[in-house]
Amino acid sequence: MFICRLMLLISFLLFSFTYVLGKEKETELEEVIVIGDKIVIPTKQTGETVYTGTEITSKGIEIVGDKAKQNIYETITILPGIVYESIDPNNMASEQTNLRIRGVRGYLGALTVEGIPNYGGNPIGPRAYIYDLENFESVAIYKGAVPADLGSGIGNRAGALELRPLWAKENFGIKFSQSLGNFDYKKTYARLDTGAIYHLNTKFSLSYSFSEQDKWKGPGEISPRNNLNFTLVQPIGEKIEIKLWSNFNEVEHYKYRFLTYKLVENLSTFYRLDFNSSLLGVPAKDYLYYKYNWETHRNKDMYIAFSAKLADKLKLVLKPYLSLEDAKLRDGTQNIQGRPGVLDRTRDIERKGLIGELTFDSENIKLIGGYHYEISNMNIYTENYWLNPDGSLRYRGYGVTATSGDAFIKSPYLKVAGTIYKLNWQAGLKYFRFEDSDSQGYITRFISGIPVLQRAIDLDREKVTYDIWLPTAGLSYSFNDNVESYISYGKTFIRPYAYLPLVTLYNRLRTRFLSAGITLKDLFKDRDIEESNNLDIGLRIRTNYFEFNPTLFFSKNKNLLTVITDPRVIDPLTGKPVNYQQNIGKADGYGFEFGANIYFTDKFIFYLNPAYTNLTYDGNITYSGQMLKTDGRQVVDVPKWVITSGFIAKIKGFEVIPKMRYIGKRYGDVEHKERIPSYTVFDLSIGYTMENLGKIKTLKLSLDFDNIFDKKYVSLINAMDDAVAGTTYGVGAPFSFKANLSFNF
């Protein structure tokens, strides 16, 4: 009741304030000019009239600091309703991170480069670590309703990010940047822009970066990381333009060790506990050897954007793309076929597709029709090894493997928008169809001690088609040049995922499932698309001296992947009925965000971004034959309160940016027995800029100090949203500092 009353009070005050400001001069919202640098601005997609997203400007990106350069997700942490955590101070531990947007895990969201989807499998979701932030001019995020023309890939339940490239520039230029920090951190970045070349007006850019560092705890290093980015812009006459964007990234590193809840209860003692630096000659301990826990990734992405103006109000855009992922991950484990060992995972993923779009833009109405087509092949498999007493590995064959064909995305969409006096309106409809391929199953048999693959028809899966209609709608009303109110609705989704855990479980208990008359196909027949209905109600209040963006949001979620208990099969490891996930869960969510930027002068800017999220289970969960009291409890790993704040102070060429982030308490299990306390971390950035030094246009020296009070805290909860057992925890990185020198000429 308190939260409801608080939201009603805030709404009343804000709408009262809206009425007062509404008596001022009328003009369009986006034309307001503030006296300081803009940190964030409202944004919308082409062919839309209602601002449903937020764009982080180059200044906002600068505020986040040097650590955002290795992982795009760090960039959006200055916004309300965002929780991003990494176990590494420089975000170089590629997949040991966690993102939540309004309580929903980031791997259930979309990440695109100008609408081209980025994602992979095992784990499902975006690869946010494959870019250099320096190659983008801004980052946009849509939290509730997601525009239909953003390629969703596997889904957008957690919203969508759009990266907007820094395309080849009109004039010649060179940028160089060198970063150094503790834990032997180094990053070198260089970019060349050719400018327009002769009468062809061809422009291209080429950038390269190299990064390396030691882990801040335990043995091993995180290196090397190489990134190469290329853009080309080629106009053809006045009506045609061709752009090419490509990116290559590779990184390999040893992992950080996650801890059990029993260990994090005594965090001060086990804060720096990590993998073993040497073999001990005991298999039950040697699976924790650091050289048996590493990962390597190679990603290649490219797309071409062809745009042609067919008539004064008609434009055609075609975007063919190609994405390749080659990854290998090694994990030590206590149980490989009943003994300690090592599990190798291989991901060989190819995606190629095309987004075609036709835009009609007149004075009174905007109309966009498009089609997204993609064909993908995800070759993902595991291999098993036993640990010998001397620490060597004994090959035990494939763990999970399947031959599969191509999978398809077929997704047409339509958007229409317009303006009537001061009322902006828009509506959209997207149809998403995912055709999952059939697969043939195999098991490993040992013939004369040699592992051999054999067909197993009970491990086969049939071809399945999943589809969903995704409507969106929005209204906004501009009272004057200062105030706009808006409401938006959108249905979001995530296609079926987490295949490998189900296949692994079936493979381990195959004889017991078969005895119960259950095949793998039976376990997959109830998989479905997760759905969320989202509603946002908000205001944008902007004057020369402040910007407020209060938002109320609501969500209804169904078909969520949730643990169930199957009494037909007994797991010999526990002596209890087996547990696995099915799409039967429900959750309700509501909350509010209050983004605020105050421009006291053009040299002093204060920002405050609190957010409250209430995301609770709708119903109890049955696990291991017992009913767990989960109804109405906050979803695992979702803090109710998150606050980010800071200010920017400029004195001549100096800039000082103190920052604070508060993450409220949360839980690592559905019954809230594993409580993770809240924490507050303070960071500080200091910069000095000089301009027009001969041929050097800009020279900047910056210092970043993160976690300046060396706070010890739990930063990651490694569990599914329906976690009922086996949750592990990552600890937050200690105090770290980075120095960066950059210049342009």
Length of the chain: 745
Per-residue model confidence as pLDDT tens digits over 518-535: 999 999 988 999 999 999
Prediction pTM value: 0.91
Distance CA 608, CA 669 (A): 31
- pLDDT reported for residue 684: 96
Residue type, 180: L
Distance CA 401, CA 382 (A): 7
Q: What is the DSSP letter of 88?
A: S
Cβ(62)–Cβ(629) under 8 Å? no
Closest CA to 552 of 564, 541, 537, 542: 537
SS (H, E, C) 286-314: HCCEHHHCEEEEEEEEEEEEEEEEEECCE
Distance CA 677, CA 731 (A): 12
Cβ(191)–Cβ(140) under 8 Å? no
- pLDDT reported for residue 562: 85
Q: What average pLDDT does the segment 48-77 reach?
A: 91
- pLDDT reported for residue 526: 82
Q: Predicted confidence band at 15 (pLDDT cuts at 50, 70, 90)? A: very low
**Phi/psi at 74 (nearest 5 deg)?**
-60, -30
Per-residue model confidence as pLDDT tens digits over 602-625: 889 999 999 999 999 888 877 767
End-to-end CA distance of the chain: 59
Residue type, 596: A
Closest CA to 102 of 143, 52, 71: 143
Cβ(120)–Cβ(282) under 8 Å? no
Angle, CA of 457, 462 and 466, to the nearest 5°: 155
Per-residue model confidence as pLDDT tens digits over 554-566: 999 999 988 888 8
Per-residue model confidence as pLDDT tens digits over 215-258: 999 999 998 999 999 999 999 998 999 999 999 999 999 999 99
Per-residue model confidence as pLDDT tens digits over 98-122: 999 999 988 889 999 999 999 999 8
Q: What average pLDDT does the segment 169-176 reach?
A: 94
Residue listed under structure tokens 């290196």: 223
Q: Predicted confidence band at 692 (pLDDT cuts at 50, 70, 90)? A: confident
Percent of the chain predicted with pLDDT > 70:
94
Query: Which range has the worst mean pLDDT, 262-266, 408-412, 541-545?
Result: 541-545
Cβ(733)–Cβ(707) under 8 Å? yes
Cβ(117)–Cβ(163) under 8 Å? no
Per-residue model confidence as pLDDT tens digits over 631-668: 889 998 999 999 999 999 999 889 999 999 999 999 99
Q: Predicted confidence band at 338 (pLDDT cuts at 50, 70, 90)? A: confident
- pLDDT reported for residue 249: 98
Give the Å distances, CA to CA, from 410 to 303, 358, 374, 435, 465.
18, 17, 7, 8, 11
Q: Which two tokens stand for residue 588?
A: 């309700």
Angle, CA of 452, 456 and 457, to the nearest 5°: 160
Per-residue model confidence as pLDDT tens digits over 713-744: 999 888 666 555 568 999 999 999 999 999 99
Q: Which two tokens stand for residue 540?
A: 């944008």
Q: Going from the N-terminus, what domains does the chain have, and what CATH number goes with each?
A: 2-744 (2.40.170.20)
Q: Is the pLDDT of residue 23 over 70?
A: no
